[in-house]
Amino acid sequence: MQLIIDVGNTKVKLAIFKEATLKEKREVVLEHFTQGVIDLVKSYPVTKAIISSVGRLTELQCRSVQNRFPTIILNHKTSVPFINEYDTPETLGVDRIGLISAFAKAYPGKNGLIIDAGTCITYDFITSRGVYKGGAISPGIRLRYTSLHSLTANLPLLETRVPKSFIGTSTESSMHSGVVNGVVQEINGVIAQYKEEYGHVHVILTGGDAQILSERLKNSIFAHSNFLLEGLNYILNISND
């Protein structure tokens, strides 16, 4: 069995896979990372692990895993199931590498646009020939609310709320409309651009805000909450021990 670790901006996801099957998934805060790993793996015969971290995991925390199992620390030099044509591969986020790998495994021979709606919204495009071209990065829903509050004098910091109408009739409802509907229109527009350029594009939506957005997007998409974990597991499967 394999231990998959995805360290995001706010949470750490821990998962156990047996071959391609997800057996268990947990979320912990960064401060409880080591104990979270210990609690999870004591129920499974883990033989190896992979860590995907945006840089928030300490060396000590990494070693707590490396000392237990053979471990891959994902980076741009790790073997992956796609051809990377990104101009600066060393700057490509490990979360994006995992998502592209997941698509290459799940949908070979298809053009793919993977949209990860989290702290940032990332767009990643891979061709039907397995060539990763690049994509885009924009602020996510929470970043937009936070920016409206912190960079202006009078706007409040609001919790995410789906607006009842696209026309805001108060400051708060106008902010909800601007943020949520703005993100929806952005995503629809990006999908349309790729379809105009490449024809049929298989669209995957994942990330913490995927559920909020999937019901409001007019394009045909596939929401997949475990897509990154599956991609990381696949990288670990094809890696040399």
Residues flagged as binding site for ATP: 6-13, 119
- Binding-site positions for substrate read 86, 93-96, 171
27 and 14 in contact (C-beta within 8 Å)?
Answer: yes
Q: How many CB atoms lie within 10 A of CB 6?
A: 24
Task: Specify the residue for token string 């009842």.
Answer: 164
Which residue is catalytic, options 39, 95, 124, 209?
95
Binding residues for K(+): 116
Q: Burial, 167: exposed, middle or buried (Cβ in 10 Å; 0-12, 13-18, 19+)? A: exposed
Residues marked as binding? 6-13, 86, 93-96, 116, 119, 171
Q: Judge whether 209 counts as a catalytic residue.
A: no
Nearest-angstrom CA–CA distance, 234 and 96: 14
Other CB atoms within 10 Å distance of the CB of residue 47: 11
Residues known to be catalytic: 95
